[in-house]
C-alpha cells in the first residue's frame, strides 16, 4: 500500500503524485497541510514538511528522496536515466526546479490563490509584477537555454527533470501565469506538451476537484 501525505497543490507533493501516476501505481492521498497535520506527522516527516511517503509500513519524507526510492522499488518506466551524464543532468534540473522555479513561481501562486482563497486576504500584485517582470526572466531564460525544441527535458524519455520543471509551472498557472510563448518558446512548448499527457490531466482533475479551481 502506498500513501502520500500532502496536499495536491503543494509543488513538492505534486512531484510525488506525478511520479506515481506516470508509473501507473495506485496510491492513497492523506491530506496534510504544509507544516502541519497531527503531532504524529513529525514522526514520519521530522521537518514537518510535505510530502511524506508511506509504503507497506516504511515511511520517508522529501519529494526527491521519495521519487528516487519509488524508482528503485518500481523500476518500470524509470524516472532517472541509466546513463550517468543524463542522470546528473536530470537531477540538476530537479534541483533547479525545486529551488529557483519554486521560489519565483510560488509567490505568484501564494498571492493570487493562497491569500484570497485560503487566508481571505487581498493579493499583493506588486509582488506578482516583480516576479513576472524582474525575477523570472533570467530563471526561465536559463530553463529556455537548456530545454530541447521538442520531446522531454533530458534524454529520450520522461524523467524526474520533467516532473520538477512542470510542478512549479503548474503553481504559476493556478496563479494565472503561464510563460509567454514569444519570450520563452521552448518553456511554453514543454509546458503545453506536458499538459497534454493523460497522467498530468488526471492530476489536474484531482486538483480541480479538491480545490474547486
Ligand atoms: N525538500 C522538500 C521541501 C518540501 C516543502 O518545502 N514542502 C512545503 C510545502 S510545498 C512545506 O511543507 N512547508 C512547510 C514548512 O516549511 O514548514 C521536498 O522536496 O519535499
2, pLDDT greater than 90: yes
Q: Is 54 exposed, middle or buried (CB count within 10 Å of its CB: 0-12, 13-18, 19+)?
A: middle
Is pLDDT of 74 > 90? yes
pLDDT tier at 212, thresholds 50, 70, 90: confident
Residue-level pLDDT at 140: 98
Domain 2-73 sits in CATH at 3.40.30.10
Mean pLDDT value across the chain: 97
Q: Tell me, using a 6 A CB cutoff, whether residue 151 lines ligand 1.
A: no
**The pLDDT of residue 38:** 86
Average pLDDT of the segment spanning 12-30: 98
pLDDT at 182 over 90: yes
What local confidence, expressed as pLDDT, does residue 20 receive?
A: 98
Predicted confidence band at 36 (pLDDT cuts at 50, 70, 90)? confident
Does the fold of domain 84-211 match that of domain 2-73? Answer: no
Where exactly are the structural domains of the chain? Answer: 2-73, 84-211
Q: How far is the CA of 16 from the centre of ligand 1 (A)?
A: 12
- Residue 60 Cβ inside 6 Å of ligand 1? The answer reads no
CA distances for 154 relative to 88, 157, 158, angstroms: 10, 7, 8
Structure confidence at residue 188 (pLDDT): 98
The residue whose CB lies within 8 Å of the most ligand 1 atoms, and thus the one to mutate among 15, 34, 53, 97, is 34
The confidence band for 116, taking pLDDT boundaries of 50, 70 and 90, is very high
Q: Is 49 touching ligand 1 by the criterion CB < 6 Å?
A: yes
What Å distances lie between residue 100 and 107, 154, 164, 205, CA to CA? 12, 18, 11, 26
pLDDT, tens digit, for every residue of 123-161?
A: 999 999 999 999 999 999 999 999 999 999 999 999 999
Q: What is the mean pLDDT of residues 91-98?
A: 98
Ligand 1 pocket, residue 10 CB under 6 Å: yes
Q: Whose CA is nearest to atom 15 of ligand 1?
A: 35
pLDDT of residue 39: 87
Question: Domain 84-211 belongs to what architecture?
Answer: Up-down Bundle (1.20)
Retrieve residue 57's grid coordinates. 509500513
What pLDDT is attached to residue 205? 98
All three cell numbers of 206, joined, read 484531482
* Single pTM value for the model: 0.97
How remote is the CA of residue 183 from the centroid of ligand 1, in Å? Answer: 30
Q: Tell me 186's DSSP state.
A: H
Task: Compute the average pLDDT of residues 12-21.
Answer: 98
Q: Is 63 in the pocket of ligand 1 (CB under 6 A)?
A: yes
Whose Cα sits closest to atom 20 in ligand 1?
62
| Ligand 1 pocket member 45 (CB < 6 A) | no
Closest Cα to atom 17, ligand 1: which residue?
Answer: 35
pLDDT digits (tens, 9 = 90+) for 100-112: 999 999 999 999 9
Amino acid at each position: 500500500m502506498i500513501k502520500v501525505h500532502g496536499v495536491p497543490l503543494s509543488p513538492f507533493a505534486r512531484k510525488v503524485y506525478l511520479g506515481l501516476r506516470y508509473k501507473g501505481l495506485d496510491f492513497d492521498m492523506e491530506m496534510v497541510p504544509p507544516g502541519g497535520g497531527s503531532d504524529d506527522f513529525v514522526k514520519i516527516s521530522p521537518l514537518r514538511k510535505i510530502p511524506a511517503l508511506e509504503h507497506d509500513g516504511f515511511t520517508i519524507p522529501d519529494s526527491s528522496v521519495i521519487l528516487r526510492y519509488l524508482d528503485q522499488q518500481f523500476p518500470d518506466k524509470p524516472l532517472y536515466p541509466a546513463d550517468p551524464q543524463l542522470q546528473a543532468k536530470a537531477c540538476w534540473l530537479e534541483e533547479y526546479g525545486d529551488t529557483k522555479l519554486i521560489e519565483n513561481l510560488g509567490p505568484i501562486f501564494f498571492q493570487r490563490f493562497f491569500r484570497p482563497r485560503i487566508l481571505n486576504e487581498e493579493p499583493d500584485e506588486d509582488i506578482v509584477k516583480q516576479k513576472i517582470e524582474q525575477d523570472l526572466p533570467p530563471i526561465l531564460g536559463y530553463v529556455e537555454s537548456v530545454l530541447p525544441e521538442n520531446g522531454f527535458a533530458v534524454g529520450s524519455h520522461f524523467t524526474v527533470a520533467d516532473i520538477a520543471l512542470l510542478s512549479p509551472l503548474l503553481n504559476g498557472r493556478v496563479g494565472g501565469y503561464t510563460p509567454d510563448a514569444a519570450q520563452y518558446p521552448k518553456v511554453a512548448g514543454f509546458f503545453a506538451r506536458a499538459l497534454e499527457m493523460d497522467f498530468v490531466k488526471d492530476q489536474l482533475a484531482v486538483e480541480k476537484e479538491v480545490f474547486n479551481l
